[in-house]
Chains A and B, each alone.
Chain A
Amino acid sequence: QKEVEQDPGPLSVPEGAIVSLNCTYSNSAFQYFMWYRQYSRKGPELLMYTYSSGNKEDGRFTAQVDKSSKYISLFIRDSQPSDSATYLCAMSAYNQGGKLIFGQGTELSVKP
């Protein structure tokens, strides 16, 4: 079993839809949770960063962490065609010195 599981999709939604992306994990030591966005032929870029449990909001994006269920989510409101990309969750434990474990990535397409 992989430490981090993410549905690879692909996921296709109409413009304006609410998108929910999810990851589950098995290592209870994970404390740092991130979402990266990767456009085609580009490197991943950091989108959201959350420490421990709770919610974090940044514009149309909301990241949620539920450590009791070992489950994290990224919500995108009012999705736009420019949101079309692959979204990767990533996480790390305190004693791993910043070494991230990534999910498989979910490919999202937002249709006009």
Chain B
Amino acid sequence: DADVTQTPRNRITKTGKRIMLECSQTKGHDRMYWYRQDPGLGLRLIYYSFDVKDINKGEISDGYSVSRQAQAKFSLSLESAIPNQTALYFCATSDNYGYTFGSGTRLTVV
């Protein structure tokens, strides 16, 4: 099994729909992150969590929310999806500065 598992791998949804992206990790790390990747913009931080009770906004949190259900699980929700949220989404975990990423979720909002 992969160290960081993201589901689904691909998703097409309609504008206005609520959608949840899920992430689980087997590394045993406390820190987890959600990034989105867009062509020419690199990886931008949406939310991060240093432990189950600590959740912080990143640089582009508007339109997103997260839930840290357990040390190993960190979910990202789009409350009302819009087309400019079409992107590749990555979950990551770390113990200090070395991140382990999942394989990503490709989300298309039509």
Please determine whether A44 and B43 come into contact, CB atoms closer than 8 angstroms.
yes
What residues on B are CB-neighbors of A104 within 8 Å? 40-42
Please determine whether A49 and B90 come into contact, CB atoms closer than 8 angstroms.
no
Name B59's closest neighbour in chain A (CB-CB).
A101
- CB interface residues, A 88-104, toward B, < 8 Å: 88, 90, 92, 97-104
- Produce 1/0 per residue, B39-78, CB < 8 A to A: 0111111001010000000100000000000000000000
Q: Which interface class (under 10, 10 to 19, 20 to 34, 35 or more) fits A? A: 20 to 34
What residues on B are CB-neighbors of A99 within 8 Å? 33, 45, 48, 58
Please determine whether B104 and A102 come into contact, CB atoms closer than 8 angstroms.
no
Name A100's closest neighbour in chain B (CB-CB).
B99
Name B38's closest neighbour in chain A (CB-CB).
A104
Please determine whether A45 and B42 come into contact, CB atoms closer than 8 angstroms.
no
Alpha-carbon separation in the docked complex, A105 to B4 (Å): 22
- CB interface residues, A 34-71, toward B, < 8 Å: 34, 36, 41-46, 49
Please determine whether A49 and B98 come into contact, CB atoms closer than 8 angstroms.
yes
B97 CB contact (under 8 Å) in A45, A92, A103: A92
Please tell me if B96 contacts chain A, counting CB pairs below 8 Å.
Answer: yes
Please determine whether B40 and A97 come into contact, CB atoms closer than 8 angstroms.
no
Please tell me if A24 contacts chain B, counting CB pairs below 8 Å.
Answer: no
Name B4's closest neighbour in chain A (CB-CB).
A43
Given contacts A43-B4, A99-B33, 20 further A-B contacts (CB under 8 A): A4-B42, A6-B42, A32-B97, A41-B103, A41-B104, A42-B103, A43-B90, A43-B101, A43-B104, A44-B43, A44-B101, A97-B31, A97-B50, A98-B96, A99-B48, A100-B45, A100-B99, A102-B35, A102-B43, A103-B42
